[in-house]
């Protein structure tokens, strides 16, 4: 195992720090440190174990706005490189050259001919290339979109990303040999991101685990919509729905990072903002890509037992987030190292403990082919099922799921919806039957389905005598109707035979 501290001693960060840097040295704005005016303070700050900002607003601002390039915290750099674990003669593709420091560390370990680094910003790439050559580590520096990798140098043994991604670009997998490793900060938008290590397989997929937290700047081509939270409210300030919650919204900020990964998987396409002062706190949940999209806000006020929730748009974002948080609690606050990810050409799947147990499917990354794994839970945007034949897919344009059977497998859905059809909630009974495994179980008062309510389905092939289909309300995640799939009945979609009258409610 490489001693990256020893490599850092040979390749100090100071060789790659620009003359002017910004650092968080206490309350207030970023502290500007200029080497020309205060070289001792500059040297002291560069030697600190903390990130240093080197660019704001893609070079269009100085000391204010969005930080867009930095020299990362040395301990975090070492942690990432430990996960990368390159071996002698390995070829490495780095995404995000920045100042050039990590490219120099890799070049010192592997040789300059084995390192290619890609930077989207021409000015940063030029400055980094000059520093690398001056320090004696003149590896290949490519100007381009890191999401595309650099196919001319493929195949690579390692891919090292120094910028966060909301989805792993599939080009990285395509350009990595089987057995190769991808290490990247995964940050889909909710809360803090995670340090993700993926092993590339020979079937065009990659699988791996999270190793810790990682708060990095986004890959430019995957940045979310910019703006203040009020921009979303002004753009979508219609039909605001108000309710109250007993969940303290501050909990989501201060819980372990695993809750951020799980909430992001269960509530895709959302970013959040958090504001806090002596008078309270406000959490905002915002559509990731569109300022005219849905938004939600929750206000914490000291001394209150309940807190006001406001939501607008076609999703009730706080309802989804609150339910995802409660599910994380039900799972026992799992550590982030129990979470992993499988990446295919069509999907990103986050899972708990192993990829054959609990999986959460982000349908923004995969609207069709969904891998089926074995637990009996369904959430908004998430499908969890048994891998025993058949399957479920989410309709890409609706909050609905429709059941399918394997080709040649006869059967129908006892609720009167043909398997393979999109479910129309208006055709469901107003009241369902709670089926625990036996036909004719009593109707629970809590199992109610109304026309127009969004529903999800889960197949549970473990039940004897037929498969149970559980329909849940997406908003509340509560069962609204239970039915039985009868695979032994002839005629796919045949509705001539129905369950007893209680099914019709």
Q: What angle do CA 347, 350, 356 make, to 5 degrees?
A: 95
pLDDT attached to residue 376: 25
Closest by alpha carbon to 42, among 28, 29, 25? 25
> Per the domain annotation, does 462 fall within a domain?
no
Q: What percent of the chain has pLDDT over 70?
A: 69
90/233 same-domain check: no
256/319 same-domain check: yes
User: CA 380: distance to chain centroid?
Assistant: 15
Residues 313 and 293: beta-carbon distance below 8 Å: yes
From 72, 107, 297, 316, the catalytic residue: 72
Strand partners for 481: 471
9/128 same-domain check: yes
Q: What percent of the chain has pLDDT over 90?
A: 53
Confidence band for 371, pLDDT divided at 50, 70 and 90: very low
**Strand 455-460 to strand 467-473: parallel, antiparallel, or no bridges (unpaired)?**
antiparallel
82/214 same-domain check: yes
If one compares 417 and 173, the residue with the highest pLDDT of the two is 173
181/267 same-domain check: no
Look up the pTM and report it.
0.73
Task: Print the SS3 string covering 291-302.
Answer: CCCCEEEEEECC
> Per the domain annotation, does 363 fall within a domain?
no
> Per the domain annotation, does 9 fall within a domain?
yes
- Mapped onto helix, strand or coil, the DSSP state of residue 164 is strand
Q: Whole-angstrom Cα distance, residue 403 to residue 475?
A: 20
Query: 185: which 2 tokens?
Result: 């900060």
pLDDT attached to residue 308: 94
**Is 258 tagged catalytic?**
no
**Residues 330-356: what's their mean pLDDT?**
89
Structural domain harbouring 254: 224-330
171/232 same-domain check: no
> Per the domain annotation, does 340 fall within a domain?
no
Mean residue pLDDT of the chain comes to 74
200/242 same-domain check: no
Neighbours of 179 (CB within 10 A): 10
173: Cα within 13 Å, side-chain hemisphere: 23
- Mapped onto helix, strand or coil, the DSSP state of residue 501 is helix
Residue 403 has pLDDT above 50, yes or no: no
Per DSSP, 420 falls in state: T
Residue-wise pLDDT for 15-67, tens only, equals: 999 999 999 998 878 999 999 999 999 999 999 999 999 999 999 998 888 89
Q: What angle do CA 372, 350, 84 make, to 5 degrees?
A: 130
Residues 286-310 as b/e (b if ≥16 CB within 10 A, e otherwise) read bbbeebebbbbbbebeeeeeebebb
> Per the domain annotation, does 388 fall within a domain?
no
Query: 182: which 2 tokens?
Result: 């991808």
Q: What angle do CA 91, 94, 96 make, to 5 degrees?
A: 170
- Phi/psi for 165 (5° steps) reads -130, 145
């Amino acid at each position: 195992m490489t001693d990256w501290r020893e490599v850092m001693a040979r390749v100090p960060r100071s060789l790659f720090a620009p003359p002017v840097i910004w650092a968080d040295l206490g309350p207030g704005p970023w502290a500007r440190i200029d080497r020309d005016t205060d070289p001792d303070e500059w040297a002291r700050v560069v030697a600190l174990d903390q990130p240093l900002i080197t660019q704001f607003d893609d070079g269009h601002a100085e000391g204010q706005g969005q930080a867009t390039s930095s020299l990362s915290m040395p301990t975090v750099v070492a942690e990432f490189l430990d996960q990368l674990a390159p071996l002698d003669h390995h070829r490495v593709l780095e995404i995000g050259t920045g100042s050039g420091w990590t490219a120099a560390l890799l070049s010192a370990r592997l040789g300059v001919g084995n390192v290619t680094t890609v930077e989207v910003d021409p000015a940063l790439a030029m400055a980094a290339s000059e520093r690398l050559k001056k320090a004696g580590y003149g590896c290949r520096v490519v100007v381009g979109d890191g999401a595309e990798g650099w196919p001319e140098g493929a195949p690579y043994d390692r891919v090292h990303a120094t910028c966060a991604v909301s989805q792993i670009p599939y080009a990285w997998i395509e350009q990595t040999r089987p057995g190769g490793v991808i290490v990247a900060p995964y940050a889909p938008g909710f809360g803090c991101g995670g340090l993700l290590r993926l092993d590339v397989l020979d079937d065009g997929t990659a699988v791996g685990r999270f190793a810790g937290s990682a708060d990095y700047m986004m890959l430019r081509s995957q940045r979310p919509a910019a703006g203040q939270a009020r921009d979303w409210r002004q753009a979508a300030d219609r039909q605001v729905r108000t309710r109250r919650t007993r969940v303290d919204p501050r909990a989501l900020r201060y819980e372990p990072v695993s809750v951020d990964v799980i909430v992001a998987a269960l509530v895709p396409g959302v970013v959040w903002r958090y504001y806090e002062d002596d008078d309270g706190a406000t959490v905002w949940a915002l559509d990731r890509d569109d300022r005219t999209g849905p938004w939600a806000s929750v206000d914490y006020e000291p001394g209150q037992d309940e807190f006001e929730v406001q939501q607008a748009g076609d999703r009730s974002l706080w309802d989804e987030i609150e339910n995802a948080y409660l599910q994380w609690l039900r799972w026992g606050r799992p550590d982030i190292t129990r979470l992993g990810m499988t990446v295919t050409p069509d999907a990103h799947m986050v899972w708990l403990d192993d990829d054959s147990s609990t999986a959460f499917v982000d349908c923004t990354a995969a609207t069709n082919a969904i891998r089926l794994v074995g637990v009996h839970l369904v959430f908004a945007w998430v499908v969890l099922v048994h891998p025993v034949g058949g399957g479920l897919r989410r309709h890409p344009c609706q909050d609905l799921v429709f059941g399918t059977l394997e080709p040649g497998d006869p059967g129908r859905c006892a609720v009167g919806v043909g398997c393979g059809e999109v479910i129309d909630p208006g055709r469901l009974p107003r009241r369902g039957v709670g089926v625990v495994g036996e036909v004719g179980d009593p109707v629970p008062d809590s199992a109610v389905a109304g026309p127009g309510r969004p529903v999800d389905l889960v197949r549970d092939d473990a039940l004897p005598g037929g498969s149970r289909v559980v329909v849940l309300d997406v908003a509340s995640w509560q069962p609204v109707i239970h039915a039985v799939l009868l695979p032994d009945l002839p005629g796919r979609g045949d509705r001539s035979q129905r369950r007893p009258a209680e099914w019709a409610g």
